[in-house]
Structure 1
Amino acid sequence: MPRESEGSSMDDQTRRGKRKASPAPKKAKRKRTRVSKSPPRNTPEKNVNRRVKRKVREDGEESPKTKKRAFDITHLTQDDDEMASSSADTGRDSSRPFKEVSERKRKRKASNDGGKPKRKRSVDIVETTQDVTINACRDKFEDKYVQQNQLGEGGCGSVFAGYRKADNLPVAIKHVPNEKVFCKHVDNNGKKISVEVATMLKLAEGTTGVGTSASVALLDWYDLDKELILVMERPVPAVDLLKYIQGKGGSIDENEAKIIMKQLVDAAKELKDKCIFHRDIKVENILIETGSGTPRLRLIDFGLSCFVKEKSRYHIFYGTPDHIPPEWFRHNTYHAGPTTVWQVGVVLYESVHGETRFETESFTRNKQKISNELSKKCQDFLKGCLAKVPEDRPTLEQLKLHPWFR
Structure 2
Amino acid sequence: MTIKTRPSGPAKRRKIRACRSCAAVNGLDQEKHQSPKFLKSKSRKRPETSSADSDPVPRPSGVSHVSQRSLGTEGHSGKRKREEEDETEKDSKKSRSKSPIRGPTEQPTLNSKYLTLQPLCNGGFGRIWSGVRRCDNLPVVIKYIDKVKVTFIEMEGDGISTRLPEEVYFLRRVGAGPDDDDSSVTPQVLDWYDLGPEVALVLEKPSPCMDLFDYLQDSLPAGVPVSETKIIFRHLVDAAIEMEAKGVFHRDIKPENILIETGGEMPRARYIDFGWAINFTPGQTFDEQYGTPQYLAPEWYRDRRYTSASVTAWQLGVVLFMMLFNMHLNINEDTIASMREVPFPKPLPEECRDLLRGCLALNPKKRLSLQEMRDHPWLKPN
Distance 1:207 1:226 in 2: 24
Indicate yes or no: 2:161 matched with 1:187.
no
Q: 1:186 to 1:209 in 2, by over 3 A?
A: closer
The 5 A counterparts of 1:34-45 are none
1:300 aligns with 2:272: yes
CA contact (8 A) 1:337 1:395 kept: yes
1:291 matches 2:263: yes
Q: Distance in 2 between matches of 1:400 and 1:207?
A: 29
Identity of aligned residues (%): 37
In structure 1, list runs of 5 or more residues that go unmatched.
1-132
1:175-221 Cα shifts (integer Å, max 9, x gaps)? 1112322x443323666532211001122379975644231111001
Q: What is residue 351 of structure 2 aligned with on the other side?
A: 377
Q: Give the conservation status (yes or no) of the 8 Å contact 1:288–1:296.
A: yes
Confirm or deny: 8 A CA contact 1:156 1:303 kept in the other structure.
Answer: no
Following the alignment from structure 2 to structure 1, what is the Cα–Cα distance between the partners of residues 296 and 175?
A: 29
Equivalent position amino acid for 2:350 in 1: K
Does the CA-based 8 Å contact 1:282-1:343 persist in structure 2? Answer: yes
Structure 1 residues 310-389: aligned runs within 5 Å = 310-354=282-326, 356-361=327-332, 364=336, 365-366=338-339, 369-389=343-363
The structure with higher relative contact order (CA 8 Å, sep 6+) is 2
Distance 1:147 1:230 in 2: 12
| 2:164 paired with 1:168 | no
Superposition pairs of residues 72-221 of structure 1, within 5 angstroms:
136-181=105-150, 183-188=151-156, 192-204=163-175, 211-221=182-192
RMSD between aligned residues: 2.3
More helix by percentage: 1
Aligned residue pairs: how many? 271
Give the match for residue 199 of structure 2: 228
Counterpart of 1:246 in structure 2 is 217
Distance 1:276 1:327 in 2: 20
Partner Cα separation in structure 2 for residue 176 and residue 314 of structure 1 = 26
Q: Counterpart of 2:165 in structure 1: which amino acid?
A: S
C-alpha distance in 2 between matches for 1:369 and 1:223: 48
Residue by residue, what CA displacement relative to the aligned partner does 1:269-323 show, whole Å, maximum 9, x if unpaired?
A: 1111111111111101111111122011121111111111232221111111111
TM-score normalised over the length of structure 1: 0.62
For the structure 1 residues 174 and 139, does the alpha-carbon distance in structure 2 shift closer, same or farther, using more than 3 Å as the test?
same
Structure 1 residues 210 and 243: alpha-carbon distance in aligned structure 2, compared to 1, 3 A threshold = farther
CA contact (8 A) 2:229 2:324 kept: yes
Looking at structure 1, the residues matched to 252 and 123 of structure 2 have their Cα atoms a distance apart, in angstroms, of 12
Deviation at 1:333, TM superposition (A): 1.1
Residue aligned with 1:232, SS? strand
Aligned to 2:367: 393
Matched residue type, 1:187 = M
Higher CA-based Rg: 1
Gaps of 5+ in 2: 1-102
